[in-house]
């Protein structure tokens, strides 16, 4: 019978399975090379961390511009606060792509800290498999998380706050400008954009934020299932 070829995912899974056989101890030259390798991974993770901060800064700056424009006068339009929400979603996508690269270098450095340096400092034996996992990650380089998982992490840690500020500012704008609203119907009327009724705009905004909220909760449950509630399961990715 002809055997079916394994899928690419199956081959990668087999390639990353750790070997259980013990290894000889590192000599002094190898210890020095490993120390330089660790420094290199820390340096690369630091560089990509800076790139993540840049994307977050872009989102904050554009949010500040939208706030300044909408609150510059009571007659100013709240439309910039709506448009900036779409721009923030674009920046979130950019940052998630960068986070996938950052996560590779961070995971490798953290793997060496947990399985090599920590046992070394405690005077304990190193796990037998940690070298194989790290070596195979270099042999078969890959992203450790998907783009959706990366977006979920950045949403929970940074962009949920930015979106919350954007939503609060928009509601505050249509409630207090040009004069404080007397009733809810007036707020709905002020939310209208050209021919689009106010209730449609508010419903779309609620759906937009609801999708982000559901997405963030899904990402949180996925990370907890993989790494544990307190993050005690330190793994590659």
- What is the rounded CA–CA span in Å between residue 175 and residue 171? 6
Task: Count the Cβ atoms, other than its own, within 10 Å of residue 78.
Answer: 21
Q: What's the confidence (pLDDT) of residue 15? A: 43
Please list the residues that pair with 193 across neighbouring strands.
196
Q: What's the confidence (pLDDT) of residue 235? A: 62
Confidence of residue 137 (pLDDT cuts 50, 70, 90): very high
Q: What's the confidence (pLDDT) of residue 23? A: 66
Region 107-115: mean pLDDT is 93
Q: What's the confidence (pLDDT) of residue 205? A: 95
Q: What's the confidence (pLDDT) of residue 82? A: 94
CA angle 65, 172, 154 (to 5 degrees): 55
pLDDT tens-place string over residues 59-99: 999 999 999 999 999 999 999 999 999 999 999 999 999 99
- What is the rounded CA–CA span in Å between residue 172 and residue 91? 24
Q: CB under 8 Å to 75, separation ≥6 — which residues?
A: 177, 178
123: left (phi over 0), alpha (psi -120 to 50) or beta: left
């Amino acid at each position: 019978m002809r055997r079916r070829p394994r899928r690419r995912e199956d081959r990668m899974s087999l390639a990353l399975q750790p070997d259980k056989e013990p290894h000889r101890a590192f000599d002094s030259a190898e210890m020095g090379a490993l120390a330089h390798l660790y420094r290199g991974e820390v340096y690369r993770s630091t560089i990509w961390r800076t790139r993540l901060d840049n994307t977050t800064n872009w989102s904050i700056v554009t949010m500040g511009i939208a706030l300044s424009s909408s609150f510059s006068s009571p007659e100013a339009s709240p439309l910039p606060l709506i448009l900036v929400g779409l721009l923030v979603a674009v920046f979130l996508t950019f940052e998630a792509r960068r986070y996938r690269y950052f996560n590779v270098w961070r995971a490798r450095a953290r793997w060496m800290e947990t399985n090599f340096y920590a046992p070394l400092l405690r005077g304990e034996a190193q796990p037998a498999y940690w070298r194989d996992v790290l070596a195979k990650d270099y042999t078969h380089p890959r992203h450790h998380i998907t783009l959706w998982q990366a977006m979920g992490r950045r949403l929970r840690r940074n962009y949920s706050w930015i979106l919350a500020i954007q939503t609060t500012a928009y509601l505050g704008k249509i409630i207090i400008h040009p004069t404080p609203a007397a009733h809810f119907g007036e707020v709905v009327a002020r939310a209208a954009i050209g021919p689009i009724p106010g209730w449609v705009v508010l419903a779309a905004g609620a759906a937009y934020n609801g999708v982000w909220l559901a997405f963030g909760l899904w990402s949180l449950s996925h990370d907890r299932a993989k790494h544990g509630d307190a993050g005690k399961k330190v793994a590659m990715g």
